[in-house]
Structures are given as C-alpha cells and as structure tokens.
Amino acid sequence: MDSHGQYEQRVVWAVVGTGIGPLLLAATREGLVNVVFHATDEVRDGALERLASRLGAEPVEEPGSPLLAEAIRQVEAYFAGERRDFELPLDWSLISGFNREVLRELASGVPFGSVVGYGDLARRVGQPGAAQAVGTAMGANPLPVVVPCHRVVESGGGIGGFGGGLETKRHLLALEGVLPEPLF
C-alpha cells in the first residue's frame, strides 16, 4: 500500500514460447492486461515501455508470479490443443468505449472453432454500420489470443487483417479447426 492506503499498481510479465512464437503476457492484480505477439527483445521492450506509460507502474519480469501462473498454464494448454476456452480474470484498463464493448462481445460470444464477420460483430453490439470500427477494435485488442480477434473474418470469406500477421492468424484458425493446417 502507498502512503494514502491505496494499493500501488503492480504489473508483472513473462514471455511464453508458443507455436506462433514468443508471447509476452502481462498481468495486474485485476487480471491479464496484455498479450503481445512476436515478443523478441525489441518488441518486448517497446511493449513494456507502453505498459509503464499507460499503467503508471514499471512492469517487473516475474514468470513465477501468482498473477501470471494461471494465464501461462492456460496459454500453454491452448497451444498444446488441450484447452478451448480461457477462464481468466481480465484487466480491461487498456481499452475503453466501443472497442471494449466489441471485445467483450467477442470474448463471450464467439467460441473456439467458429468465426464471425466484422459486420456481424458490429450488429451484435447494436452498431450495424460499424464494421470498419470493429476492425479498428480488433487492431486495438490488448489481449489477442485470449480475446480471440483471430476469429473475426471478412463477410465474403476472406481472412481479413491481423495485427500479429496473417500467418499467425492462419495458424490460430488452423489450431481451432477452422482452416486446414498449411502443407508447407
């Protein structure tokens, strides 16, 4: 606690190896706050600087932290094909407004092995003309994989964009049985 009796913000992080490369996982006392693709040293350092700035606390590498243990276990089980759903407390403090509303709907309403169109997701949150804004929300998702923005695709059957790269999106959709595994 600080001198005013308030809990100081605590941010812990670890990098986890996965089938799509290293993921940075960061958590607060509220829950998992950030997942970052392709967490090489340079990407990781930039992500940690942004987290420190946004959350007002210096992230501490602590892979054994109880705040991260369950998230790490569930992410590893997901990539091993042993888990379909994430059951984790999430800290939504890095996103707000329409983007948060869309991502919450995505997290609760688009299950493993299924996809939804950008326009369909916009309709689900009561904004039928906001397909492009849904795309923006997907790009702003601070919790990819756990909040499955890879499950949002174009209505005409296209894969759509993806902040982690299209190969990563294809891999995640293949892992969930939506796409066939690439031959090479």
Active-site positions? 149
Cα separation, 80 vs 50, in Å, equals 30
Find out whether 18 and 56 touch, Cβ atoms under 8 Å.
Answer: no
Q: Taking the CB of residue 169, how many other CB atoms lie within 10 A of it?
A: 23
Strands 23-27 and 12-16: antiparallel
Torsion, CA 178, CA 81, CA 66, CA 1, rounded to 10: 0
Q: Taking the CB of residue 71, how many other CB atoms lie within 10 A of it?
A: 24
Cite the beta strand spans of 12-68 per DSSP E: 12-16, 23-27, 32-36, 60-61
Strands 60-61 and 152-153: unpaired
Length of the chain, in residues: 184
Scanning the structure block, which residue is given the tokens 């946004």?
54
Find out whether 168 and 175 touch, Cβ atoms under 8 Å.
Answer: no
